[in-house]
């Protein structure tokens, strides 16, 4: 049975940002309130669609792997903010990167989406059904934010990350994984006024993102910790064997709680929530890229990753890195210039939320 080695990685970070001080112009809050409770100091706002974010990340991952889109058998996009529902957004990304004839599919497990997608693509490679896949996580969460609600308005940002998986005889890539869903309290994190449950004859208005922070914190720490224990057991590893922890970037306190439960030192934990906020499925994909770029991930590193999201989905994965930590080719894709600030990009949505 083949392994699904990670041979390419790429990201897409929108240029416009909103700092905590700037967001205090929208809702009653301040930098101290946000940063001490979440670890977030800024978040990015996209001026382009989810498909465009995903395309840039995917192309840069292909460049890194030294392959072209035509070499890919599967384009799998993890997102809960697709550009279009029908046709799926992955099909547009497939077209944009020239992956002619490749299967294209969206998957939605919210913040756990990247790890879910990694498992799905890895399984297809390991069983011999495909040879190469590009797995992308892209989100435009600021599109859904209700800017009148402080508790959730300060949390989310936009971005994308991607990896290329290729069949290999080398024992590397995703080697152990545990995914699941705790539906007992799925209502504590959801967007209520979106989907076919709506009465289409009534006005939709601003998105109604429901977010019960305390309950989410408790369930996130419990679910992610238990999943990590399960994965370590599958892989027959001890905590001492883990070189890097790449957790979902939802809240610094959650990251620290997971870190404490796993007894992992600070220097082994990848944290970038301060720069980007919670980009849902994209957080781990972006963090994985930056962990390589920053030298945190080294050849043959043992990586533990965990996530928790709406549903309430959860996931944990053990990833064995290969020998290469430098791109074969430099990234060639980038977003078009943006002539607006982050606040200017969301101005219309802010007005709509305040009027609702």
Averages of pLDDT over runs of 10 residues in the chain (356 residues) are 96 98 94 95 98 98 98 97 94 98 96 97 97 98 88 92 97 95 69 64 57 72 84 91 95 91 92 97 98 98 93 92 98 97 94 79
Q: Which among 145, 306, 312, 142 has a CA at the least distance from the CA of 215?
A: 312
The span from the CA of 251 to the CA of 256, in Å, is 9
pTM score: 0.93
Which listed residue (64, 272, 278, 353) is catalytic?
A: 278
Tokens of 48: 């382009």
Strand, coil or helix: what is 318?
strand
Catalytic site includes residue 243: no
Which helix (H) or strand (E) segment is 187 a member of? none
> Please, are residues 282 and 10 in contact by the beta-carbon 8 Å criterion?
no
Cα 352 → chain centroid: 27
The string of DSSP letters for 296-307 reads: -S-TT-EEEEEE
Longest CA span, the chain:
59
List, in order, residues 6 or more apart from 60 with CB less than 8 Å away: 10, 11, 12, 162, 331, 332, 333
CA torsion 54-56-61-65 (nearest 10°) is 140
Alpha helix stretches (DSSP H) within the chain: 20-23, 31-38, 50-65, 89-96, 113-126, 150-153, 213-235, 252-262, 273-276, 282-293, 342-355
Which listed residue (60, 108, 248, 251) is catalytic?
A: 248
Angle between helices 50-65 and 89-96 (to 10 degrees): 50
Catalytic site includes residue 329: no
Residue-level pLDDT at 356:
67
DSSP 190: E
Catalytic site includes residue 278: yes
Which listed residue (12, 80, 111, 228) is catalytic?
A: 111
């Amino acid at each position: 049975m083949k392994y699904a080695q990670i041979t390419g990685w790429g990201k897409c970070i929108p240029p416009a940002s909103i700092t905590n001080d700037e967001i205090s112009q929208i809702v009653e809050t301040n930098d101290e309130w946000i940063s001490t409770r979440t670890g977030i100091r800024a978040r990015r706002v996209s001026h382009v669609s989810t498909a465009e974010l995903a395309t840039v990340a995917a192309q840069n991952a292909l460049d890194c792997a030294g392959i072209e889109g035509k070499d890919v058998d599967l384009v799998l996009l993890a997102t809960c903010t697709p550009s279009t529902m029908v046709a799926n957004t992955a099909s547009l990304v497939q077209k944009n990167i020239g992956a002619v004839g490749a299967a294209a599919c969206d998957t939605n497990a919210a913040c756990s989406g990247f790890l879910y997608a990694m498992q799905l693509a890895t399984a297809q490679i390991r069983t011999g059904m495909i040879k190469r896949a590009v797995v992308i996580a892209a989100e435009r969460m600021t599109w859904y934010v209700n800017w009148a609600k402080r508790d959730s308005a300060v949390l989310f940002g936009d971005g994308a990350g991607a990896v290329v998986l290729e069949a290999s005889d080398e024992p590397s890539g995703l080697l152990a994984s545990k995914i699941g869903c705790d539906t007992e309290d799925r209502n504590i994190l959801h967007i209520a006024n979106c989907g076919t449950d709506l009465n289409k004859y009534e006005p939709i208005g601003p998105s109604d993102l429901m977010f019960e922070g305390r309950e989410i914190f408790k369930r996130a720490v419990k679910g992610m910790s238990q999943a990590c224990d399960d994965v370590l057991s599958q892989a027959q590893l001890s905590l001492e064997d883990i070189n890097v922890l790449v957790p979902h970037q939802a809240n610094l306190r959650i990251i620290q709680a997971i870190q404490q439960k796993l007894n992992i030192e600070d220097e082994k934990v990848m944290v970038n929530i301060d720069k980007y906020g919670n980009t849902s499925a994209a957080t781990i994909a972006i963090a994985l890229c930056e962990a390589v770029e920053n030298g945190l991930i080294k050849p043959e590193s043992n990586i533990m990753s965990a996530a928790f999201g709406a549903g309430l989905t959860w996931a944990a994965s053990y990833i064995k890195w290969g020998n290469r930590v430098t791109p074969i080719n430099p990234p060639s894709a980038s977003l078009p210039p943006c002539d607006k600030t982050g606040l200017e990009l969301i101005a219309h949505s802010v007005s709509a939320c305040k009027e609702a």
